[in-house]
């Protein structure tokens, strides 16, 4: 009872702090100077049609590198925690009910499409909404469908690790190339910025997003597999 009162009080108090803040912030009527700067400069400087992508991959590319590191750390943590040895034999697969016919059929149909779609998303991140993470998640969805439809199936752990490691290393290498051939670490202008709107534009942004997509896909798949509980 006491606890409920306290929880209520805590929620009310938090609302008291949060709501006025949100209310007073209101709705902007025009972007600030920084935002306007990005909007005006990104296409010209980087040749990226998608300004958000320009920000994510280059201006604030260091954030993205960190973001990759976060996901990587989570994968490593999950991988270290959820091994078959630690979870015990009971926790391993085989508990779930077998997949239904619908799921299995759909999986067969969708897997290829999903992978293709994922690749599309991350290769076109500089042009359209989307990018490496989104693409990677879509690819991981394909893996998830497969894990669900055939619980006994195994991912090739070595392959996953290899993709993950190498694509991560490739990202770092691309960043370093920026430092060597362009103006700084993670500078995408190591390749010609091209014409705004074309696939081969925005310097190395498509490349970076591709390796990110691969890495994220592999990592998320790894996490999903680990959660299944039968990793060696």
Q: Kindly list the distances between the CA atom of residue 177 and the CA atoms of 17, 64, 69, 141, 208, in Å, as whole numbers in the listed order.
A: 46, 17, 19, 32, 12
Residues 105-144 binding another protein (CB under 8 A) are: 127-129, 131, 133
Longest dimension (CA), the chain: 66
Asked if 206 touches another protein (CB under 8 A), the answer is no
The one segment of 16-24, 99-107, 108-116, 145-153 that binds another protein by CB under 8 A: 16-24
Q: What end-to-end distance do the CA atoms of the chain give, in Å? A: 45
Alpha carbon distance 172, 166 (integer Å): 10
Among 29, 101, 102, 156, binds another protein (CB under 8 A): 29
**Out of 164, 202, 210, 221, the residue judged to bind another protein by CB under 8 A:** 164
Give the interface segment with another protein, choosing from 105-113, 114-122, 141-149, 158-166 (CB under 8 A): 158-166
Distance CA 12, CA 66 (A): 34
Out of 142, 189, 191, 209, the residue judged to bind another protein by CB under 8 A: 189
- Span from 54-62, 103-111, 114-122, 143-151 in contact with another protein (CB under 8 A): 54-62
153 binds another protein (CB under 8 A): no
Distance, in Å, from the CA atom of 187 to the CA atom of 14, rounded to the nearest integer, reads: 41
Q: Both tokens of residue 51?
A: 């300004």
The reply to whether 197 sits near another protein by the rule CB under 8 A is yes
Which span sits near another protein by CB under 8 A: 38-46, 99-107, 111-119, 142-150? 38-46
Contacting another protein (CB under 8 A), which of 99, 138, 155, 186? 186
- Assess 50 for contact with another protein (CB under 8 A): yes
Token pair belonging to 159 = 């392959």
Q: Is 102 in the site for another protein (CB under 8 A)?
A: no
Contact between 14 and another protein per CB under 8 A: yes
CB of 108 to another protein, least distance (A): 27
SS (H, E, C) 138-206: HHHHHHHHHHHHCCCCCCCHHHHHHHHHHHHHHHHHHHHHHHHHCCCCCCCCCCCCCCCCCCCCCCCHH
């Amino acid at each position: 009872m006491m606890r409920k009162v306290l929880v209520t009080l805590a929620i009310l108090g938090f609302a008291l702090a949060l709501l006025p803040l949100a209310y007073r912030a209101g709705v902007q009527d025009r972007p600030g100077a920084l935002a306007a700067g990005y909007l005006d400069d990104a296409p010209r400087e980087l040749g990226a049609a998608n300004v958000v992508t320009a920000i994510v991959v280059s201006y604030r590319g260091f954030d993205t590198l960190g973001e990759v590191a976060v996901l990587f750390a989570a994968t490593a943590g999950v991988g270290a925690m959820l091994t078959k040895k630690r979870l015990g034999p009971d926790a391993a697969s085989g508990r779930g009910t077998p997949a239904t016919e619908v799921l299995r059929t759909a999986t067969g149909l969708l897997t290829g499409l999903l992978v293709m779609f994922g690749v599309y998303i991350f290769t076109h991140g500089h042009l359209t909404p989307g990018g490496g993470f989104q693409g990677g998640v879509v690819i991981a969805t394909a893996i998830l469908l497969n894990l669900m439809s055939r619980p006994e199936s195994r991912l090739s752990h070595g392959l996953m690790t290899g993709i993950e490691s190498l694509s991560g290393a490739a990202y770092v290498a691309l960043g370093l190339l920026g430092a060597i051939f362009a103006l700084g670490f993670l500078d995408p202008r190591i390749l010609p910025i091209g014409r705004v709107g074309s696939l081969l534009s925005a310097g190395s942004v498509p490349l970076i997003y591709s390796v990110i997509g691969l890495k994220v896909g592999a990592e998320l798949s790894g996490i999903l597999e680990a959660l299944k509980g039968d990793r060696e």
